[in-house]
Chains A and B, each alone.
Chain A
């Protein structure tokens, strides 16, 4: 069953603005990952944050994790048209390899 919920479901912003997406989950995790999916394509791994980490950066991406609230956020700074895609968070339960995906956020960057 899906345990991740993301909000907003859809987000439309102007190029250059920052985009923030949130993810909540229900059970204890080893780590949380964020993926990007362009329309009709496979998933691209963006970043992994472990349960003992609070914040992680990768280029224009910033991910935070609050295990007490069972939530994570993905911030994309200085957005570009090429960032238009769906973004999914995924969690793995402790002791399990399989991932449970959130419902995703459809991000549209308007030029």
Chain B
């Protein structure tokens, strides 16, 4: 159980376009989802915390107008990279926490989305 999916798994786009990445919890309801980015051979950096039905909380240094996060339902959160530039190329990973279960502290991670901006 506790499967998280991401779509797409990889995307290549031209500079200046917007890209939407979906994160879904497949077999549980996720009250909280997290978005991370990971550069090659580096660790995961938390970008924002997304709570269903409320505005996302962004980490310091993350532009909320550039990285739009929507958590419209208990099973879906989306990250939109607006006006993407080559420096936004990265591996984006989401995770989800389920409430009301003993493993509430465990974050279940999606498989990641690799974004390449040309």
Binding site for B on A (CB under 8 A): 2, 4, 30-31, 33, 35, 40-45, 48, 88, 92, 97-104, 106
Q: Is the interface of A mostly helix, strand, loop or mixed?
A: strand
Give the Cβ gap from A62 to chain B, nearest Cβ, in Å: 19
**A42 partner, pick from B43, B46, B49, B93, beta carbons under 8 A:** B93
The 5 closest A-B pairs by CB, nearest first: A42-B111, A43-B109, A42-B109, A101-B43, A101-B44
Inter-chain CA distance A45–B3, complex, in Å, is 12
Chain B interface residue count, Cβ-Cβ cutoff 8 angstroms:
24
Complex CA gap A11/B90 in Å reads 25
Cβ contact within 8 Å between A98 and B46: yes
CB B49 to nearest CB in A, in angstroms, measures: 6
Segment touching A, from B12-20, B67-75, B100-108: B100-108
